[in-house]
A and B are shown apart, each in its own frame.
Chain A
């Protein structure tokens, strides 16, 4: 499903070059739940941004679902993200002027669904996530855990092939984090491919596979124990 070959990313700041990814070969199959771990600055988030097409690599190749992303235009990447990817960000990334329902509905509307259909499926999805009573609340009226749940519902409402999560529990307390990880487990159980960056060992162990990065390279790949 996802394959990278000799993936590199270098940041330039004037004359200073910082090589963050130094040739990563990686593969993820359909329905896998992969945790990417590493110390701060190891390049794990940068790696996630490359394989989710939010950023352009400096070198190497990324093939997703048989598509060589190197040849894609920005517009094609945007459509690819809309139709095949879901994103969960560390800080929830909900639009502040939209209610929980509207936040979830926006990507569906963008896919061409009618407002009625988008609202119906968004409402049902939020209800399943235990947020049926929060449909018309703005993000500022929700707790951190609730916001992250809305963010996950938004990410999967359009049935993406791959769900990318960048430190989804970093801003949450233990209870909320546990609830979020339960949702990920349920999604995975239903066949959702998930690639999650985390620095928390206990949550990484919930994945099928843990990929460890250090200094821009994969240093180990282990199957999770649980």
Chain B
């Protein structure tokens, strides 16, 4: 019988019980609730963020919002100039960067190598870019850790990804050849098909995105001449969309205008490998599992707190019933107290997560080997978890109160078992 009167009196009693409770006890319970909230949100948030960091990095530095790539049975994107023009004039497109791509091998130390020494060769993909448009779309130059980024007039200059250089490989990876003793200013050779050219290392990029770390970048005009492609057809086009524009809209608009005949058009999400999506789903499940355990721990904690509280106050519960206070009023007063603990704990937790942890991890990502982990805490999911926490806390607070209230009134007053 949760009548308005019972609710009113239950709230009245709960408010006074909380107001006059020991600050230490209240503080401790709220502290437990904050930890539970963080357990619910942060653990799964970091698990998801570990991969989200990688997803974000690939999107930011490589695919951008929409990526147009070569069809599997073609060497390059046919009609690229038309496609570029189409994309450039499409509503919602902020900028784009076309890229040339060709497999090549890089050779270092060829001047000092003895006849008997093995050649220091590393396979790589060479990417021809327009430095200005590439930087506008992906901000690639921000990953530079040594030297300088390319500029349009650069001749025989190259920028290398860190995984191509031995000094940046923390762990020796079998099967992955790297260049030794190569730094800024070092001359290396590029072999593309039958063409060999000597270039100077102008900069080194450090990234956890393979499409950056395992690639070498040259100015497109020069690279075109190396690979003998003068028809303007490119291998990749990354498109950055305007803020508040859904990349899927741009993808669909391109497909609607026939772009799919000459190229594969994908959003950054479409372009994620299936295995990667599976890992994200797995980590999300793991996060949910950990959250569920956290929820059970929180419920048990509240149950114990309320049970001990109700047991020690059993006599007073008996007195309240004795003087005619409805049992539901007493149960409600405990429910309100539980809600208070859950709401306050969640409020402090929310302030910590959005006021400190999310911005902190955004500025100081966790240095995982394959990504810069961030804390992913979408507002809607977080509030869903707050709701879950409150509901489980209410149940955990109600059950012990109900157990004590249903006992014989006189036994409670007299302390009889």
Binding site for B on A (CB under 8 A): 49, 54-55, 75, 78-79, 81-83, 85-87, 89, 93, 95-98, 102, 106-107, 109-110, 112, 115, 138, 154-155
Contact = CB atoms under 8 A, between A and B. Distances in A.
Contact of B20 (A97, A106, A154): A97
Contact of A49 (B1, B21, B326, B410): B410
A154 B323 contact: yes
B12 A78 contact: no
Contact of B325 (A85, A106, A112, A115): A106
B6 to A, nearest CB: 9
Interface stretch (B28-36, B285-293, B314-322): B314-322
Contacts of B8: 109
22 contacts: A54-B322, A54-B409, A54-B410, A55-B410, A78-B324, A81-B322, A81-B324, A82-B324, A82-B325, A85-B324, A89-B413, A95-B316, A95-B319, A96-B316, A97-B17, A98-B16, A102-B16, A106-B9, A106-B323, A106-B325, A110-B326, A110-B329
B379 interface: no
Nearest to B8: A109
B5 interface: yes
Nearest to B17: A97
B5 A112 contact: yes
B21 A97 contact: yes
A154 B324 CA distance: 12
Contacts of A78: 321, 324, 326-327
Contacts of A109: 8-9, 12
A78 B324 CA distance: 5
A65 to B, nearest CB: 16
Contact of A110 (B19, B324, B409): B324
B236 to A, nearest CB: 70
Closest 6 CB pairs of A and B: A82-B324, A97-B20, A93-B319, A81-B324, A55-B410, A54-B410
Most buried by A among B1, B20, B319, B324: B324
Given A83-B324, A154-B323, 20 more contacts: A54-B322, A54-B413, A55-B408, A55-B410, A75-B1, A78-B321, A78-B324, A78-B326, A81-B322, A85-B324, A95-B319, A98-B13, A106-B9, A106-B13, A106-B323, A107-B325, A110-B9, A110-B325, A110-B329, A115-B12
Given A82-B324, A110-B325, A110-B326, A89 B319 contact: yes
A93 B413 CA distance: 9
Contacts of B413: 54, 89, 93
Contacts of B16: 97-98, 102
Main secondary structure of the interface of B (DSSP, over half): helix
Nearest to B319: A93
Contacts of B320: 95, 106
Interface string B396-417: 0000000000001110010000
A87 B12 contact: no
Contacts of B17: 97
Contacts of B325: 82, 106-107, 110
A9 to B, nearest CB: 11
Given A97-B17, A97-B20, A97-B21, A107 B323 contact: yes
B20 A81 contact: no
Contacts of A89: 319, 413
Nearest to B406: A74
A102 to B, nearest CB: 6
Contacts of A96: 316
Contacts of B12: 106, 109, 115
B246 to A, nearest CB: 53
A57 to B, nearest CB: 12
B294 to A, nearest CB: 31
A52 B361 CA distance: 65
B20 A138 contact: yes
A83 B326 CA distance: 12
A87 B323 contact: yes
A81 B410 contact: no
A55 B413 CA distance: 11
B123 to A, nearest CB: 76
Interface string B2-18: 00010011001100110
A109 B315 CA distance: 21
A112 B321 CA distance: 16
Contacts of A85: 324
A103 B409 CA distance: 19
Contacts of A82: 323-325
Contacts of B13: 98, 106
Most buried by A among B17, B21, B319: B319
Nearest to A85: B324
